[in-house]
Structure 1
Amino acid sequence: MQRVFVLVSNKQPLMPCHPARARKLLRKEKAAVYRRYPFTIIMTHRVGGDLQPIEIKFDPGSRTTGVALVGHFNRGSEVIWAGNLNHRGAQIKRNLNSRRAIRSSRRNRKTRYRPARFLNRRRPKGWLPPSLRSRVDNVKNWMLKLDKLAPLTQIAVETVRFDTQKMQNPEISGVEYQQGDLAGYELREYLLEKWGRECAYCGAKNVPLEIEHIVARSKGGSDRVSNLTLACTPCNIDKGNKDIKDFLKRKQKRLKKIQAQAKTPLKDAAAVNATRYATGNVLKGFSLPIVFSSGGRTKFNRIKLGYKKDHWIDAACVGESGSHVIIPQAITPLIITAKGRGSRQKCSMNQYGFPRTGPKKHKRVKGFQTGDLVKAIVTKGKKIGTYVGRVVVRASGSFDIGSGEEKVAGISYKYCRLLQRSDGYEYT
């Protein structure tokens, strides 16, 4: 189980404690619940305490960033808290594309529209597209949150970097991180991400995968990354040096997919390459010692220690200290999903770009806003019961509570009690 964050009465962080100890303190009323996610208690009287070094580690990714807190104790380095931070960059890009299409449609119809603006704004130094900036901001926000909840002493970050030039031309020399024990780890990780960690020929998952030449080297194939894919051992043996068109002549759909995907660069690689400097600069602003390490070193540490692939586990294995980190078997990560803090769009549009609702009046209704964590105890009517979850507010005061398939509609605000304000993230 994850450790529980502890604050003293003046809100200064103490060492995180075991959940059993936190329950004991709450039962004896020596502490109170300060925050639900991540779970934090605050001491009612205690002021100080002994502290030990805690290192926060990040494994930045295009879609998910792994976060781990590693305590450096006398008995060794151990993970005490972990989380997977899911980004919403793809959703932001879809929203921007939709807005662009609606505005373009209005201009073409010569109806009410915002005039086009061209070359009238300068992009500041270090500018990133909103879909990429959100990834950097998420890392910054969680660094701020955890810095207030735990006595952090050091930062370690994986410099998620795919050297695409080295992959396209393997004869290039002088790249230190691809020498010695780490040789080939960057290329393998790139291929695993590009091909979805499955066999390109049969789609097998959760099996050992081998690097496979689409055009065999004996037939003139190169070691360029555009000629490499992943295959399970049986498929790799069956294909041998056959032409891929002959090998997959009965699977034309899969053949076309492989041919198209082989030449397509990995978009996620471009995303992490574009944000790695911004992420590093943001974390440097926290005035803590910071260490950068390559993705190849992370994977080398994880495989050497025998841990499975996961973003938070990769975060724990970042850097030199990741070569001997202990991950308790009972620990489970907190799944954090970025949801945003509402929309600036005044009203919703139909498929033709015309307003279908009135403009929003108030973001908060009856003291609640969409995304707040609430507990509702309904004592009468058809929906008697207790409901806990995220709330979706309406101006009428009749709310929806829950998430996914367990959502319950039509709960009056009078039954709702606030547990935690919305902070732009959803927790599992």
Structure 2
Amino acid sequence: MAVLVLDKRKRPLMPCSEKRARLLLERGRARVHCMVPFTIRLVDRRIEDSVLQPLRVKIDPGSQTTGIALVRDQDDVDVDTGEVKKVAHVVLLAELKHRGQTIRDALTQRRAFRRRRRSSNLCYRAPRFDNRVRKAGWLPPSLQHRVDTIMAWVNRLRRWVPVTAINQELVRFDTQALQNPEIGGVEYQQGTLAGYEVREYLLEKWGRKCAYCDAKDVPLEIDHILPRSRGGSDRVSNLVIACHDCNRAKGNMPVERFLAKQPERIRKILAQAKAPLRDAAAVNSTRWALFNALKATGLPVESGTGGRTKFNRTRLNIPKGHALDAACVGNVDDVQEWQKPVLCIKATGRGSYQRTRLDRFGFPRSYLTRNKSAFGFQTGDSVKAVVPSGKRTGRYRGRVAIRASGSFNIQTPQGVVQGIHYRFCSLIQRADGYGYSWAR
């Protein structure tokens, strides 16, 4: 793991190794600035006395999870051919899990409560329609949340490391080019990336499993619902993903004949084939808003497609993953040092303005405390608890949920531990609206 480094005035320096950071802390030359991601601040170094190298933030936006990779650019010369290759050395890998669906569900519930109170002739305000003006480029809160959280972490990384450029996967699935291959010219569809856009779209749409037998973790092939020999086309609405055995058994039969004994599966396949990919629609709705927000940072922003990302990952034999996909975004010839733990960042929010608990009809049933902190702790803080004796004896580390009584709950990777007294808890990091964990 790379440790992020700041100078004595909290300006970003080049990251260092764990061993060097440990030595700096032991010798009193550095202080801990942030626990996650681990960042130290030097007490005897200024940015004017340091040498900086180009660092790039690469982003792979997703509907539910966004991959983020911090890489160091380097140009290597091939000894045999003399060509200059762009090599990306991975410094940090992270996966940001959005809470857009949670926001959508909360707004839907609130809308239903308000509608019910109005329809029951209860004491509640009338609906307002004439005083709501949406500015240009407005996005629903669940989609705007994706843009805001990604930008929040880009700005954090800019405060912690000397970022010089940004890469974004701007177009994950070019749906217009999929429906009409001639829209971007023949070379666009028949170049080196031929087939990658269509295949990746179908893999996402059909859940990376066979549409006929639900087989997973097997080689999957593209199959036509209505065979081309019977007049079928190459449109994505006529394509499915199938395993080799099912594809061979189906042959040139229509799907209605091949699955004659499974009418329910036939209806499901035909309906899903015509339906657009919901995640792709969410990504396409926010891609330009995110791109414009990144350009507003003043840094050079490069864009790429999902097909090129998969082409790079397949060519370099890198496993599938959101963070690793981010490292492969854009024009890159080689990716090194990618076997690193991944920082999993989960957007949890910063609490609620709501002061009451509601029943199923939307009416208050209990009141919440007005104080969001108790005994120096706040819900969402990262704490370490050492219980010396009793029923909860042990060491626990995770996010805390406070109570006014002083009996806290701690969310650990193994589950929730209830009834931990606040005297056994020590603060690691204040709540910032995110939960952290590590994965490989």
TM, length-normalised to structure 2: 0.91
Q: Secondary structure at the match of 1:407?
A: strand
- The answer for the alignment partner of 1:86 in structure 2 is 97
Q: How does 1:77-226 map to 2 (within 5 A)?
A: 77-174=88-185, 177-226=188-237
User: Paired residue for 2:314, among 298, 303, 307?
Assistant: 303
What amino acid is the match of 1:326? Q
Structure 1 window deviating more from structure 2 (130-139 vs 110-119): it is 110-119
The aligned residue for residue 83 of structure 2 is none
Cross-structure match for 1:58: 59
Report the AA paired with residue 7 of structure 1: L
Tell me, what secondary structure is at the counterpart of 1:389? strand
8 Å CA contact 2:181–2:189 kept in 1: the answer is no
How far did residue 376 of structure 1 move? 2.2
- Tell whether 2:30 aligns with 1:31: yes
- Counterpart of 1:46 in structure 2 is 45
Identity of aligned residues (%): 54
CA, structure 1 residues 359+400, in 2 after alignment: closer, same or farther (shift >3 Å)? closer
Does the Cα contact within 8 Å between 1:177 and 1:294 map onto a contact in 2? no
Shift of 1:255: 2.6
Q: Give secondary structure in 2 for the equivalent of 1:10.
A: coil
Instruction: Assess if the C-alpha contact under 8 Å between 2:397 and 2:412 holds in 1.
Output: no
2:431 aligns with: 422
Contact 1:170-1:223 at 8 Å conserved across structures: no
2:405 and 2:125 map into 1 onto residues whose CA distance is: 32
Shift, 1:359, TM fit: 4.2
1:31 maps to amino acid: A
Work out the CA distance in 1 between the residues paired with 2:403 and 2:256. 57
**One-letter code aligned to 1:46:** R
Number of residue-to-residue matches in the alignment: 425
The amino acid across from 2:55 in the alignment is I
What is the match of residue 274 of structure 2? 263
Aligned residue in 2 for 1:324: 334
Residue correspondence of structure 1 range 396-407 to structure 2 within 5 A: 396-403=405-412, 405-407=414-416
The offset of 1:171, in angstroms, is: 5.0
Q: Tell me the residue number matched to 1:71.
A: 72
Q: Secondary structure at the match of 2:336?
A: coil
Post-superposition Cα deviations, 1:321-361, rounded to whole Å, max 9, x if no partner, equal x23222433x1211111111112222121222221221441
Paired residue type of 1:355:
P
In the alignment, the residues of structure 1 paired with residue 315 and residue 97 of structure 2 have an alpha-carbon distance, to the nearest angstrom, of: 27
Decide which of 402, 427, 435 is 1:393's aligned counterpart: 402
Query: By percentage of residues, which structure has more strand?
Result: 2
Number of the residue aligned with 1:16: 15
Write the distance in 2 (CA, Å) between the matches of 1:272 and 1:221.
29
Contact 2:387 2:394 in 1 (8 A): yes
Letter paired with 1:256: R
Match status 1:287 vs 2:298: yes
Cα distance in 1, alignment partners of residues 233 and 263 from structure 2: 24
Aligned amino acid, residue 301 of structure 2? I
Displacement, 1:179?
4.0
8 Å contact kept, 1:56–1:69: yes
Q: Structure 2: 5+ residue runs without aligned partners?
A: 77-86
1:334-349 aligned within 5 A: 334-349=343-358
Question: CA separation in 1, counterparts of 2:13 and 2:182?
Answer: 52
Contact 2:387 2:393 in 1 (8 A): yes
1:362 aligns with 371
RMSD: 2.0
Distance 1:183 1:400 in 2: 53
In structure 2, how many angstroms separate the alpha carbons of the residues matched to 1:253 and 1:179?
37
SS of structure 1 residue aligned to 2:218? coil
Q: Are the structure 2 counterparts of residues 261 and 391 from structure 1 closer, same or farther at C-alpha, using a change threshold of 3 Å?
A: same
State the shift of 1:380 in Å.
5.0
**Which residue of structure 1 aligns with residue 4 of structure 2?**
5
CA gap of 1:176–1:141, structure 2 versus 1, over 3 A, is: farther
Moved more, 181-190 or 111-120: 111-120
AA aligned opposite 1:8: D
Whether 1:333 aligns to 2:333 is no
Equivalent residue number for residue 248 of structure 2:
237
**Segment of structure 1 superposing worse, 227-236 or 182-191:** 182-191
Describe the shift of the 1:350–1:167 C-alpha distance in structure 2 as closer, same or farther (beyond 3 A): same
